[in-house]
A and B are shown apart, each in its own frame.
Chain A
């Protein structure tokens, strides 16, 4: 029988710690066998914390635990020549387990065929920041990974030169070997590993990076994704796939309303379900939500199905608490009322009132965007076990160190008694940055005396208990002069804030949210006022891929279309006029101190780049081309995660009002493109996620609870409704020393407005409320 046909024994032995892909012990063992040996207490662990001197830290320096560029931490070379490279960021579809190790391999002159990737456990002191969000992995770790590879290469060259007793300048590394051209000698990496490991790590200043012209992999995009073979054979290990012999399976009934409490429950019927072993009350935590579990009643069983059946048999009475009346229909009217009154002034350029008074035309519109759930295809899941006071976790988490800290806090263990193994993530989109489900697993294992327990969230759990994308009303007003030029701009943004999840009663958006396309709006308009009226949160608000850029871009880029129509101008020309001439704007001059966490000097807002993507996408999409009745093109441009994106969507709307999307063109300037193949796949995916949220996405609340139970209610775009063709246009760069932009998120925000603008072009119907759903239907 074929090996792959046998039941998985991958993780069948409870006593073997190195079973699931990458346990710490497995890694140490491998390293001990290899040339590079991890020395305990290595003296010069190179970390940003020790070296950064500026008062305000930006980029990777500004993240918890910064970055690490020590090759001894990230690279191991075995005597058979196998190069093991650690990936310290979570793989959730962005290709990070391919792209980051690829950077190391390139500088190391390693042959990718002999590279093995290992996933780091949660340990930021050792590996640097691991929070896989904010479109930051490559942006922040490209240079550290290059230095890691280059330093390791230099150590191998040094070892070879020493062995041959020739000056190191006479040798060079090339594709897994070090060569001495003069004598024709060469040694393989495996042969050199032991000696190289004994050499000092070169000082950062003496690390010689490759000339980009010599890159083998960086910028090329020829490598297949590292986990592809496993994925297509069903062998990829996701968080939900963790399995031990005799492990226990749990599902949890959580309070349906955020802030609700358990009053009473009856588990008698549940305990009679075959396979159910125990019913346990799980502690929750009073608001703010933070990353704490919600509490509830857990059903422990011998398999997931039995646990689900057991949960159905529970009788539970909940107290709804203070958010029991949350109703999305009512709340929308509250947001609208707030948007129609002045709010906290965030930016006030020129004299907006005078400009409105003298304007020839006054245009005003309100845009509504609902809550969304990230709904990764793999719902949250985590496994925990506790052996001799040490808790081990296997989880699909975007936040390995945070998971470790949270488990330590809840189990009252020191962090070094918690190990978090990071599995593949079946999508994340921000949901898996919040480790409430990881803590649940740890608490349940503790309650079961340390036995391995896996908690699985059903789709209903995932949709009911997400950390939801906010809900918002954006009210925009503009004054046009007699020539149709925009002379006044007022934007009121109203949305419950993510900070409400972490502090009591926060009602204003925080700088991180406002810096996502509201206050850092770079348009060439003399009179601008931006306000943020209050909004109270009634559920856990969290980040969803692209976060507040979604409603902000939807409103602003839709409104520009309305203004172009009012001014009788071509939308693309009008948009370019608003963007204005090429200039590099200090975001602080717009009131944006955050700037996606990046240095304002390194990352000014470059309107020239925003113009360029806009002009490029218009040209590539054939802007202005002749279309037939019911067809239309829409355009939008948006700057986020320090990347510039513009989109043209082509739609067709038939006589019954059925929408189809024959084509999307998306032009992107993200600076240097490290792995263009995965950049393209991210942008294709962003187009589809943008279409999905624009056409179908909505989470709504009634009597405090989410109304959508599963994918029949919370619909996602499927094959038949997806854009038929997506053309990604990456703006060429040749410089690899210019700062990188983000990739995972910035493609999403301009999709909804470009789509709605295309619908207007096709039908004359204006969409100001998402999702579009059946707003176009005529039957």
Chain B
């Protein structure tokens, strides 16, 4: 039995410690907002934040997340920038099927928390690990820029 800190709450998890965080979240805790897309860290659908860093949950054994702060899409609205990213996503009408958007929002939020005014190249670098089969990339870029243009996130 291990304890993980997920979205600021402790969770007891009784699984082999090499189980990827993705499946612990989805199958055992019912936090299904973190999506399965590839299982090999190739598509970014499973992106969560671990101690603030965007991390692919599908290749992260739960043992390596012990003692760290895990944040998933379900709680990213608790983060000031995360909330603004969600709002921009709705405002610009980013989602089509929406399946990859949890991961996109987690990657975008991490980018904007580290870099309040990302260039196109910064956006490419931060977001190219997240595949969108519907092709929402131009709107993702526009939404990130919309958040960056908000005065209050600039310091």
Interface residues of A (CB under 8 A from B): 1-2, 4-5, 7-10, 12, 91-95, 224-225, 227-229, 231-238, 240-241, 243, 249, 274-275, 303-305, 308, 375-379, 424-429, 456, 458-459, 677, 681-682, 684-689, 692, 710-712, 716-720, 722-726
Q: Does B2 contact A (CB under 8 A)?
A: no
A234 B33 Cβ-Cβ under 8 A: yes
B97 A235 Cβ-Cβ under 8 A: no
Q: Which residues of chain A have C-beta atoms less than 8 A from B52's C-beta? A: none
Q: Which residues of chain B have C-beta atoms less than 8 A from A12's C-beta? A: 30
A719 B32 Cβ-Cβ under 8 A: no
**Shortest Cβ distance from B38 into A: residue:** A459
Within 8 A of A (CB), among B52-107: 72-75, 77-78, 86, 89-90, 93, 95-102, 105
B130 A719 Cβ-Cβ under 8 A: yes
Tell me which of B39, B96, B101 contacts A685 (CB under 8 A): B96
Q: Does B151 contact A (CB under 8 A)?
A: no
A5 B74 Cβ-Cβ under 8 A: yes
In the complex, A10 Cα to B26 Cα: how many Å? 13
A719 B124 Cβ-Cβ under 8 A: yes
Give the A-B pair count, Cβ closer than 8 A.
208
Q: Contacts A305-B23, A379-B36, A720-B125 known; list 13 others, CB within 8 Å.
A: A224-B93, A232-B89, A232-B95, A303-B27, A377-B45, A377-B99, A426-B35, A427-B97, A427-B133, A459-B37, A459-B39, A685-B136, A689-B133
B8 A5 Cβ-Cβ under 8 A: yes
Q: Give min CB distance, B95 to chain A, whole Å.
A: 5
Q: Give min CB distance, A394 to chain B, whole Å.
A: 13
Q: Does B134 contact A (CB under 8 A)?
A: yes
Q: Give min CB distance, B141 to chain A, whole Å.
A: 7
In the complex, A229 Cα to B101 Cα: how many Å? 12
B31 A424 Cβ-Cβ under 8 A: no
Q: Give min CB distance, B122 to chain A, whole Å.
A: 11
In the complex, A692 Cα to B22 Cα: how many Å? 27
Residue of B16, B43, B74, B136 contacting most chain A CB atoms (<10 Å): B74
Number of interface residues of B (CB under 8 A): 66
In the complex, A293 Cα to B75 Cα: how many Å? 38
**Shortest Cβ distance from A381 into B: residue:** B36
Q: Which residues of chain A have C-beta atoms less than 8 A from B98's C-beta? A: 93, 227-228, 231, 236, 424, 426
**Shortest Cβ distance from B100 into A: residue:** A377
In the complex, A229 Cα to B86 Cα: how many Å? 8
Interface residues of B (CB under 8 A from A): 7-9, 11, 15-16, 19-20, 22-23, 26-40, 42-43, 45, 72-75, 77-78, 86, 89-90, 93, 95-102, 105, 120, 123-125, 127-141
In the complex, A172 Cα to B120 Cα: how many Å? 52
A712 B128 Cβ-Cβ under 8 A: no
When A and B form their complex, which 10 residue pairs have the shortest distance between CB atoms, in order from nearest? A234-B33, A426-B99, A688-B135, A93-B97, A234-B73, A8-B30, A93-B96, A231-B98, A685-B135, A305-B23
A5 B75 Cβ-Cβ under 8 A: yes
Question: What are 11 of the A-B contact pairs (CB < 8 Å)?
Answer: A7-B31, A231-B95, A234-B32, A234-B72, A681-B93, A684-B135, A685-B136, A686-B135, A719-B124, A719-B128, A719-B137
A305 B27 Cβ-Cβ under 8 A: yes
Q: Which residues of chain A have C-beta atoms less than 8 A from B139's C-beta? A: 681, 684
In the complex, A224 Cα to B105 Cα: how many Å? 18
Given A684-B138, A710-B38, A304 contacting B23 (CB threshold 8 A): yes
In the complex, A684 Cα to B95 Cα: how many Å? 12
In the complex, A238 Cα to B133 Cα: how many Å? 16
Q: Give min CB distance, B79 to chain A, whole Å.
A: 12
Q: Which residues of chain A have C-beta atoms less than 8 A from B127's C-beta? A: 719
Q: Give min CB distance, A2 to chain B, whole Å.
A: 7
**Shortest Cβ distance from A720 into B: residue:** B124
Q: Which residues of chain A have C-beta atoms less than 8 A from B134's C-beta? A: 93, 377, 427, 685
Tell me which of B23, B30, B75, B138 contacts A10 (CB under 8 A): B30
Given A10-B30, A93-B96, A243-B32, A719 contacting B141 (CB threshold 8 A): yes
Query: What is the predominant secondary structure among interface residues of chain A facing chain B?
Result: loop
Given A4-B77, A93-B97, A232 contacting B86 (CB threshold 8 A): yes
In the complex, A274 Cα to B135 Cα: how many Å? 39
Given A94-B96, A377-B100, A711 contacting B40 (CB threshold 8 A): yes
In the complex, A687 Cα to B32 Cα: how many Å? 30
In the complex, A238 Cα to B26 Cα: how many Å? 12
B38 A233 Cβ-Cβ under 8 A: no
B33 A424 Cβ-Cβ under 8 A: no
Q: Which residues of chain A have C-beta atoms less than 8 A from B99's C-beta? A: 236, 238, 376-378, 424, 426-427
Q: Give min CB distance, B20 to chain A, whole Å.
A: 6
Q: Which residues of chain A have C-beta atoms less than 8 A from B39's C-beta? A: 308, 458-459, 710
A376 B97 Cβ-Cβ under 8 A: yes
Given A8-B31, A681-B139, A710-B40, A304 contacting B26 (CB threshold 8 A): yes
A233 B26 Cβ-Cβ under 8 A: no
Q: Which residues of chain A have C-beta atoms less than 8 A from B93's C-beta? A: 224-225, 228, 677, 681
Q: Which residues of chain B have C-beta atoms less than 8 A from A429's C-beta? A: 133
Tell me which of A91, A304, A377, A687 contacts B132 (CB under 8 A): A377
**Shortest Cβ distance from B30 into A: residue:** A8
Q: Which residues of chain A have C-beta atoms less than 8 A from B130's C-beta? A: 718-719
A7 B29 Cβ-Cβ under 8 A: yes
**Shortest Cβ distance from B121 into A: residue:** A720
Q: Which residues of chain A have C-beta atoms less than 8 A from B27's C-beta? A: 243, 249, 303-305
Residue of A95, A685, A710, A712 contacting most chain B CB atoms (<10 Å): A685
A4 B74 Cβ-Cβ under 8 A: yes
Q: Which residues of chain A have C-beta atoms less than 8 A from B22's C-beta? A: 305
In the complex, A726 Cα to B72 Cα: how many Å? 31
Given A5-B8, A227-B98, A459-B39, A234 contacting B133 (CB threshold 8 A): no
In the complex, A717 Cα to B138 Cα: how many Å? 12
B34 A234 Cβ-Cβ under 8 A: yes
A235 B33 Cβ-Cβ under 8 A: yes
In the complex, A686 Cα to B133 Cα: how many Å? 10
Tell me which of B16, B26, B35 contacts A274 (CB under 8 A): B16
Q: Which residues of chain B have C-beta atoms less than 8 A from A710's C-beta? A: 38-40, 42
A7 B30 Cβ-Cβ under 8 A: yes
**Shortest Cβ distance from A302 into B: residue:** B27
Q: Give min CB distance, B46 to chain A, whole Å.
A: 11
B90 A232 Cβ-Cβ under 8 A: yes
Q: Which residues of chain A have C-beta atoms less than 8 A from B129's C-beta? A: 718
Q: Give min CB distance, A432 to chain B, whole Å.
A: 11
A377 B128 Cβ-Cβ under 8 A: no
Q: Which residues of chain A have C-beta atoms less than 8 A from B135's C-beta? A: 684-689, 692, 717, 722
Q: Which residues of chain B have C-beta atoms less than 8 A from A687's C-beta? A: 135
